[in-house]
Amino acid sequence: MLKKTIGWTYAALVLLFLYAPILVLMALSFNASKYNALPFTFSLSWYKALAADTTLIRASLTSLSIAAGTAIICVVLAAMLMLWAVQTTSKLKGWIDALVVLPLTIPWLILGLSMLLLLSAAGIDKNFTVLLIGHVVVSLPYAVLVIKARLQSMDLSINEASASLGANEWTTVRRITLPLLFPAMLAGGFLAFVISFDNFILSYFLIPSGSSTLPIEIYASIKFGFTPEINAASTLLLAATTLMILLIVVIMRSSLKFFLK
Amino acid sequence: MDKKIWLMSPAVILLLCFCVVPLFIMVYYSLLSDGTRGHLTLQNYADFFEKRIYLKLTWKTIRISCCVTLISLLISYPMAYVMVNLIHSGKNLLLLAIIIPFWTSQLVRAYAWQNLLREGGILDIMLRKLHLIGSEPLGLLFTPYAVIIAMVHIFFPYMVITIYLSLEKVDIALVEASKSLQAGPLTTFRRVVLPLSKPGIVTGCILVFVPSLGVFVEPRILGGTEGSVIGMVIEDQFFEIYGWNFGAAVSFILLAIILLSMAVLSRLAKKEA
């Protein structure tokens, strides 16, 4: 009993450290003071200001569309790759596994600027296609890992069963493999969405001039002058991400392991 | 089978063209004397090693990353231990509670710490009300400590999860066996549990140490002049000074340090396993 109490106390302290800054930020977004000063007076004025701020809204829409595009492309590419991986006996497989996790080992700072250098070497201006590709490159490993985790826990002999019942390969993929993979594809897609939507560094390096995303706007206002609207924007961002993560966990309840890099 | 190669080629071509090729271009740029033209030279690397400031910043980055890794380990091991051994009922919930902030914006979390730590910020006010500090301000913001605190906050969940996974695999029969051989709890922990969880510790250290080396946002927001790191030099070279060639050289050096530390740490894991 004593052990349990000590255990919960320690866990509570760690969670306090983890959640206190986030919760304080969220609380401050409802505070009337312009300088985050106490005492706390409830007010929705920063959310109202946020709703009227067309720059922030436009940036959020850009973030949303890039994240949606990234999610769709990542899921399609990852699913295709994994369908190949389960069937192949090719020696290339080890190399391709390494290639897919490569973007996880290199800091996004270096990945982003190397893509910037690629653009300059090719003599192309920054554009949304390259920005989207950048987001896909850094989000793809996560989608692949989620789908892979699902494939590893699946009994692949049902594919053979399907074949022995006379289904051709395409029918098997369409009627057996894809439906079974669907939850993982959905979870992988949401994960890619979250990573892209939050991704500041890649966008910072590759965004065409004159455009911005929500994280870029947040960074700019932290760096160049304080606006309390950012508390409101950050709170919305945190809340949206949290909801998405809960959704992914519900979809992939069977295994939490894919959350590991 | 290889008829199906079209299934994997889009992903592979994308990664080759936009992850591997750019890295080679970066190396090429780091060897150029001036912009996209110029002649091949090692001057950018020579500059890095000759100017003490860069070496000092690199060393500081490594030191900060070590601190972050060590503190994360000190927080995470007990947490993982508690989750596996002391609390059975709530451990999935705890795991979820640790995972959620882990996927939320790092930028926003660094900003949250700025809010907490700044002069006249919440922490300042609360500590003063509790009479834990006197009238002088806390003075934590814009120091390396602020950077370390925020980075621990951002990265330690990696460590908890990897150690948790390896502790969960420890066979309870071995612990029982150790007890039946008259080993005390401390001896059992030191000789049985700790060695068996070493792979988790090493993986956790890689997952915290490696990304710590490449940060620039947290020090920019929280570090001030005292808390600058090598990642900021790279950002400055690209966005403020337009010294792309030198920036590429520094990036490549940073990448080399990262790959080297990964190699050393994972060799450690293999030796112990």
Inter-chain CB proximity A249 and B99 less than 8 Å: yes
B117 pLDDT tier (thresholds 50, 70, 90): confident
Q: Does A115 touch chain B (CB under 8 A)?
A: yes
Say which range, A112-121, A252-261, B43-52, has the weakest mean pLDDT.
Answer: A252-261
- Is residue A134 within 8 Å of A67, Cβ to Cβ? no
- In sequence order, the 6+-apart residues with CB closer than 8 A to the CB of A245 are A194, B99, B100, B103, B104
Give the residue-averaged pLDDT of B26-55.
84
A38 pLDDT tier (thresholds 50, 70, 90): low
- Cβ-nearest to A22 among B109, B121, B157: B109
User: What angle, 0 to 180 degrees and rounded to 10, lies between the N-to-C axes of helices A128-153 and A54-87?
Assistant: 40
Write b or e for each residue in B143-155: b if 16 or more Cβ atoms lie within 10 A of its Cβ, otherwise e: bbbbbbbbbbbbb
How does pLDDT run across A212-230, given as a tens digit for each residue?
A: 999 999 898 887 766 778 8
| Percent of chain B clearing pLDDT 90 (strictly above) | 29
Question: Is residue A254 predicted with pLDDT exceeding 60?
Answer: no
Q: Which of A140, A191, A222, A254 to mutate to test the interface with B (most CBs of B within 10 A)?
A: A222
Q: Which of A18, A148, A206, A244 to mutate to test the interface with B (most CBs of B within 10 A)?
A: A18
- In sequence order, the 6+-apart residues with CB closer than 8 A to the CB of A95 are none
Q: Does A108 touch chain B (CB under 8 A)?
A: yes
Question: Is residue A56 predicted with pLDDT exceeding 90?
Answer: no
Cα A186 to Cα A188: distance, rounded to the nearest angstrom: 5
- Is residue B213 within 8 Å of B258, Cβ to Cβ? yes
How does pLDDT run across B130-153, given as a tens digit for each residue?
A: 777 766 667 778 888 999 999 999
Q: What is the distance, to the nearest Å, from the Cα of residue A218 to the centroid of all Cα atoms in its chain?
A: 17
Find residues 193-222 of chain B whose CB sits inside 8 Å of chain A: 207, 210-211, 213-217, 220-221
Helix/strand/coil (H/E/C) assignment for every residue in chain A: CHHHHHHHHHHHHHHHHHHHHHHHHHHHCCECCCCCCCCCCECCHHHHHHHHCHHHHHHHHHHHHHHHHHHHHHHHHHHHHHHHHHHCCCCHHHHHHHHHHHHHHCCHHHHHHHHHHHHHHHCCCCCHHHHHHHHHHHHHHHHHHHHHHHHHHCCCHHHHHHHHCCCCHHHHHHHHHHHHHHHHHHHHHHHHHHHHHHCCHHHHHHCCCCCCCHHHHHHHHHHHCCCCHHHHHHHHHHHHHHHHHHHHHHHCCCCCHHHCC
Q: By CA distance, what is A103's nearest residue in B? A: B19
Cα A221 to Cα A218: distance, rounded to the nearest angstrom: 5
How does pLDDT run across A143-198, given as a tens digit for each residue?
A: 998 888 888 777 777 777 777 787 777 787 778 888 888 888 988 898 899 899 98
- Cβ-nearest to B8 among A21, A96, A113: A96
B3 pLDDT tier (thresholds 50, 70, 90): low
Q: By CA distance, what is A254's nearest residue in B? A: B92
Question: Is residue A260 predicted with pLDDT exceeding 50?
Answer: no
A259 pLDDT tier (thresholds 50, 70, 90): very low
Give the residue-averaged pLDDT of B100-117.
86
- At residue A112, the pLDDT reads 92
Question: Is residue B95 predicted with pLDDT exceeding 80?
Answer: yes
- With H, G, I as helix, E, B as strand and everything else as coil, classify residue B225: coil
Total-model pTM = 0.87
How does pLDDT run across A128-142, given as a tens digit for each residue?
A: 999 999 999 999 998
- At residue B52, the pLDDT reads 87
Rounded to 5 degrees, what angle do the CA atoms B159, B164, B170 make?
Answer: 135
Inter-chain CB proximity A85 and B8 less than 8 Å: yes
- At residue A261, the pLDDT reads 34
B190 pLDDT tier (thresholds 50, 70, 90): confident
- Cβ-nearest to A7 among B20, B86, B116: B86
How does pLDDT run across B8-27, given as a tens digit for each residue?
A: 888 999 999 999 999 999 99
